[in-house]
Amino acid sequence: MTLRDALICFNGLLQRELLRFVQQRSRFFSALVRPLLWLVVFASGFRAALGIAIIAPYETYITYEVYIVPGLCAMIILFNGMQSSLSMVYDREMGSMRVLLVSPMPRPFLLLSKLLATSLISLLQVYGFLVIAWFWGVEAPLWGYLTALPAFLLVAMMLSAIGLFISAKIKQLENFAGVMNFVIFPMFFLSSALYPLWKMREASEWLYWICAWNPFSHGVELIRFALYQQVNSTALSIVIIVTLVASIVAVRGFQPQQGMGKR
């Protein structure tokens, strides 16, 4: 495979994902409803109940809405990543995975390109959400929207790779409801997306440690800091390591026959 072939191939994959995204505009808007409900309804209700002390990267007291926006961005990425990875294993995309897999390009390259392409598309949803959040009064520094981009992308790759690994390895999770109950919700709730970890520690020491070990927490913190033009080096290191390990394990463990049924 030459670099030229690789670029043409990736470009083709990205364009296809983009075309599908444009075709399925209604899915784009419905995917925004979930985080907006959290922002507009849940956060408004919790604002009074939950006081947030000054914690990095924030320099002053913040409202609860401001606190949960990075977590909700990560939630959009989490849902998209899991959904696309699941469809890769179970061939839900009208057989498009078969077309992909008969390409002469190396399979790890094809799988990682597909993960990257779907990750880039999910960034469009994240920025769509951030625009609405901005109108709702939740603003990050202007440059923060740009510095957060690599963080979004890295977290998207991490979650897609974890999703591909889980979908390939755990047969029982062959539908999205299973993934939602056993992967997405635990990952999301046992993280720093909705509440700072010190708050969790006040409630339960062992819950705190689960949250602290959850890679999703580090993804959320990476995004949170990046939105405020800062680098959380611990979160960055963990996200990079988990992305690499999950990608290698997921690609090695990928077996297309798992989702294609018996004939």
For another protein, the binding residues (CB under 8 A) are 1-2, 4-6, 8-9, 11-13, 15-16, 19-20, 23-24, 93-96, 98-107, 110, 255-257, 260, 262-263
Tell me how far, at minimum, the Cβ of 2 lies from another protein, in Å: 8
Query: Closer CB to another protein, residue 19 or residue 56?
Result: 19
What angle in degrees, to the nearest 10, is found between the helix axes of 64-90 and 107-135?
A: 150
Between 7 and 131, CB nearer to another protein: 7
- Please say which residue, 21 or 46, places its beta carbon nearer to another protein: 21
Task: State the DSSP H helix or E strand holding residue 22, giving kind and residue range, or none if neither.
Answer: helix 3-23
Helix, strand, coil percentages for the chain (3-state, nearest 5): 80, 0, 20
Q: What are phi and psi of 183, to 5 degrees?
A: -125, -60
Question: How far apart, in Å, are the Cα atoms of 33 and each of 16, 40, 66, 126, 180?
Answer: 25, 10, 18, 12, 17
In the complex, minimum distance from the CB of residue 151 to another protein, in angstroms, rounded to a whole number: 29
**Phi then psi dihedrals of residue 182, to 5 deg:** -105, -10
Smallest distance from the beta carbon of 120 to another protein, in angstroms?
16
- Nearer to another protein (CB atom), residue 1 or residue 170: 1
Quote the least distance from Cβ 20 to another protein, whole Å.
7
